[in-house]
Structure 1
Amino acid sequence: MMGNLQENTWSGQFGKDYTDRCIFGPKELNSFYKNEYGITRQDMNNRFLLGLGLENKRILEVGCNVGNQLRMLQYMGFGNLYGIELQQYAVEKAKSLTQGINIIQGLGMIYLLKTDILIWYLPAEY
């Protein structure tokens, strides 16, 4: 497989294993965050995002994996949600788990996406 370290890591077994163990709906994601960090993901989002007038803005998550955060944002009432993910396996899972969220595979097209806010997270285990 030709690619850089990130592409090779996430396209390989590590990426698939990560994807399979990290599929959460909004309620499960809230429970996971509450147990791990003492605050729900929804409360964390509220602290950072509410009051900024982003409800009708385009939000792009880079490295969205299966779209857990995007589904949480949709659950909270946000629309115009986009995700971009390098790993084809995760994109397929994301598309099967989401409705009304635009998920794109690859990073080469990122410059074509006009968005108002960009979010990105690095998994603690990476």
Structure 2
Amino acid sequence: MGVASRAAQGLIAVALAGLLGVTAWHWRLAWEDSGRFAFVLFGVPLACGVLALLAETVGRTAVASGVVGALAVMSLAWSLVTGLGIGLAFLLPSLLLLGAAAASWGDRRRHASSGQQRLTGSRRP
């Protein structure tokens, strides 16, 4: 069994806070300009953030790191697709999600190698 990465959870929480701030700041203008599409505009990166936090919290294997990474790439792609409008505001949270995927992978790998050392009794420098 793996352990969830506190660093990754923190980065995802900061990304979600940033996304909520961007949504609160730009919602009225986006609603007036795009109508119901505003739900999609803000919903895609917010869903990526929430699902990444859920995957990191619940997932106990290395698959969770891959899920967080895939969601980060999806959020980054959405940021670039909507980049001529408000999408650049989604860029920093997307990059934070990528950082969270890297932190998650590193923490899970470190935890797995320390568990293997305990099982085999070997130590690596």
TMscore range, shorter length: under 0.3
**Max radius of gyration: which structure?**
2
More helix per residue: 2
The structure, 1 or 2, with the larger RCO (C-alpha pairs under 8 Å, 6+ apart) is 2
Q: TM-score, normalised by structure 1?
A: 0.25
Q: TM-score, normalised by structure 2?
A: 0.25
